[in-house]
């Protein structure tokens, strides 16, 4: 919208502004009672308000006709999320930080400490999403939600890693299984999260012959109720199972799934 200099000066003068012009630039002094005038945008607003908003020409919003193009990694992530949602899990986003206390419970050492944490309970970068999940599930249980099924695709941080950051997919199930007219409700178990994991592998077009199941899950899993996925190229695909009883005593939560989904694995 173009407004002549004469009209601009007339509007500002009538509003109590003092104006001095230097070439093509204005120096504007607002009246003492206008404490809301702080910058150029405020002055422009005053001019247009008096000149008339109805005199601003209408323009249609530009809409691109180009279709969104996702790369292979983005397409894979979207497919994984859809698979877990279809399995009854809800996507969530937790802090990229965690408490050093929870890290010690999970046996995580050499953590990346934060010099200026936003909270004393968020003082190190997370090495796993699972501790944050346990806090989230415990919060839901304390507020009366007995069935909690969550997943998150996000970064974890490790000082020993070359890049210090990897993208992980983690999920957790707590409570009773979904009601079904042919089946009775039952507590979630290791086979539920194993099926979650296998569903994701199938969605990523990985045949069963491309990986094997082992029992070398991390120490924070139950030693007899957990497992791992290993690909034939000897790379680690992920872990699943029941949380170790010592940790469930502290968090009062049972089953979870932790699956790596970076490009090196899937």
Q: What is the pLDDT of residue 66?
A: 66
Residue 117: CB atoms within 10 A of its CB come to 14
Among 110, 253, 119, smallest CA distance to 175 is for 253
The gap between the terminal CA atoms of the chain, to the nearest Å, is 54
CB 148 within 8 A of CB 251: no
Q: What is the pLDDT of residue 263?
A: 37
Q: How far is CA 198 from CA 213, 218, 225, in A?
A: 11, 19, 17
Q: What is the pLDDT of residue 61?
A: 82
For the chain, what's the residue count? 266
Tokens of 135: 């806090």
Q: How far apart (Å, rounded) are the C-alpha atoms in residues 99 and 119?
A: 9
CA-angle at 96, arms to 90 and 100, nearest 5°: 115
Q: How far apart (Å, rounded) are the C-alpha atoms in residues 173 and 178?
A: 11
Q: What is the pLDDT along the chain (266 residues), one digit of tens a residue?
A: 899 989 999 999 999 999 988 888 888 999 999 989 988 999 999 999 999 999 998 888 877 666 666 788 888 889 999 999 999 999 999 999 999 988 988 988 888 888 899 888 899 999 999 999 998 988 888 888 888 899 999 999 987 766 788 889 999 998 888 777 778 888 888 889 989 988 998 888 888 888 888 888 888 898 888 998 888 877 778 889 988 888 877 776 656 666 654 433 33
């Amino acid at each position: 919208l173009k407004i002549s200099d004469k009209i601009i000066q007339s509007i500002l003068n009538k509003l109590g502004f003092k104006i001095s012009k230097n070439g093509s630039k204005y120096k504007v002094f607002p009246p003492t009672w206008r404490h809301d005038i702080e910058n150029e945008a405020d002055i422009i607003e005053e001019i247009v308000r008096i000149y008339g908003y109805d005199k601003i020409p209408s323009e249609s919003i530009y809409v691109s006709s180009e279709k969104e193009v996702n790369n292979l990694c983005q397409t894979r992530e979207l497919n994984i999320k859809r698979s877990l949602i279809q399995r009854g899990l809800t996507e969530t986003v937790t802090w990229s930080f965690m408490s050093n206390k929870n890290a010690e419970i999970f046996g995580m050492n050499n953590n990346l400490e934060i010099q200026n944490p936003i909270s004393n309970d968020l003082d190190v970068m997370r090495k796993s999403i699972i501790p944050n999940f346990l806090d989230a599930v415990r919060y839901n249980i304390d507020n009366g939600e007995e069935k909690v099924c969550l997943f998150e695709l996000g970064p974890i941080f490790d000082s020993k890693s070359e890049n210090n950051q990897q993208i992980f997919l983690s999920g957790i199930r707590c409570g009773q299984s979904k009601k079904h007219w042919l089946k009775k409700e039952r507590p979630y178990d290791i086979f539920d999260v194993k099926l979650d994991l296998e569903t994701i592998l199938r969605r990523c077009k990985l045949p069963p012959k491309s990986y094997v199941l082992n029992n070398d899950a991390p120490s924070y899993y139950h030693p007899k109720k957990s497992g791992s996925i290993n690909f034939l190229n000897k790379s680690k695909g992920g872990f699943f199972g029941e949380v170790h009883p010592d940790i469930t005593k502290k968090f009062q939560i049972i089953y979870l799934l932790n699956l790596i989904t970076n490009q090196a694995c899937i």
